[in-house]
A = this chain, B = another copy of it.
Amino acid sequence: MINSGYKKMLEGKSVIRQLSEFATARGREIGYENVFDYSLGNPSVPVPEKFTRTMTELLQTRDSMELHGYSPSVGIASVKEKIAASLNERFGMDYTGNHIFPTTGAAGALAHALRCVTEPGDEVLVMAPYFPEYYFYVNMTGARMKVVPADTRKFQIHFGKLEEMLTREVTAVLINTPNNPSGAVYDDNTLRELAALLLRKQEEYGHDIFLISDEPYREIVFDGVKAPYVSRYYDNTLSCYSYSKSLSLPGERIGYVAANPRCRDAELISVICSQISRGIGHNCPPSIFQLAVAEMGGLTGDMSVYETNRNLLYGELTALGFDCVKPGGTFYIFPKAPQEDAVAFCRRALKYDLVLVPSDSFGVPGYFRMAYCIDTEKVERSLEALRRLVKENY
């Protein structure tokens, strides 16, 4: 018989996927170019030429058995060292290869990091608004996810609520900055305050509290600002990275966990991760992808289109009277819906061929998310639909 728990999960099918399927179906009717599909966070920037060239060279020049052979269970040593060196150079860290564990994207990174530092029954705190898949990433480890309500003023952290919920049962706190769905980038003040609180609670409870930092949007920041590097603020940090967004490789599932060299058992983390892999069947990510991304350093695709799109949408939305925090990064914007029921609002928007995602599954009611990783020309055309939606209804 099919496992009853997984069968039940089918009932809670992802709203985002459903909307994306609607957009595809509508596209078959009126042409996909006429559907303003803001549902999916699939990068719209070409993969850097250097990545394609590196992959091709690996295929053409390396001995095939060596190239495609087993990766050591902790990852390929030279790859780990190159990733560490690139992080050290860009963020002033002092990682060695031993602190890096290559994974199948950020999902793989989180699956390992969470299992590494929690026991079944522990509590893991996440901050609303949060990526809906966190529920599964956390709860299927055996730990229990608790949601800290959002600070909707700027979508930084609601420290009052966080402190209240940071009980003795909490062994990990999971954050995501730059944030999906709000586009907020946690600033220096937020990270300092977070680190101070975690340190204080660690001392009070006499046990570690790990900060798990989900950072796939680290390089997508606007206005010439750099996102602060979370691990610099707090020693017990595991940084979970994916190349999906920065290199436009979401289907290739490649990323890593980087354990702060001063965290508890820092040198053990990647070894423990390799043990976790034995049970969840990843082993390492593909050898060729490990080798290819190691050559990319901090290279990214041309991310400027996301800032252009942010400017267009933020300008129009605020002009139309939407209450909206200006995104500092990512390719998401998260305005307040003009009616309490965001689902009803998003349903109404579909009549204008605007595919928006209601905020309920992100842990905050009454907002909606737009993923503006689409062509700027389409964003421009969508503005008229937005105007009509508002003027004819609100």
- Contacts from A to B (Cβ < 8 Å): 1-7, 9-10, 17, 40, 42-47, 52, 55-56, 59-60, 64-65, 67-71, 73, 103-105, 107-112, 115-119, 133, 136-137, 139-141, 171, 207-208, 248-254, 264-265, 268-269, 271-272, 275-276, 278-289
* Assembled-state Cα–Cα distance A45/B63 (Å): 11
* Assembled-state Cα–Cα distance A278/B252 (Å): 16
Q: Which residues of B contact A70 (CB under 8 A)?
A: 40, 42, 250-251
In contact, B52 and A65 (Cβ under 8 angstroms): no
In contact, B4 and A119 (Cβ under 8 angstroms): yes
In contact, A3 and B248 (Cβ under 8 angstroms): no
In contact, A3 and B52 (Cβ under 8 angstroms): no
* Assembled-state Cα–Cα distance A52/B4 (Å): 42
Smallest Cβ-Cβ distance to A277: which chain B residue: B107
In contact, B280 and A281 (Cβ under 8 angstroms): yes
Smallest Cβ-Cβ distance to A72: which chain B residue: B17
In contact, A275 and B68 (Cβ under 8 angstroms): no
* CB of A144 to closest CB in B, whole Å: 14
In contact, A3 and B286 (Cβ under 8 angstroms): no
* Assembled-state Cα–Cα distance A40/B171 (Å): 38
* CB of A349 to closest CB in B, whole Å: 23
Which of B4, B9, B117 is close to A2, meaning CB atoms less than 8 Å apart? B117
Which of B5, B118, B248 is close to A64, meaning CB atoms less than 8 Å apart? B248
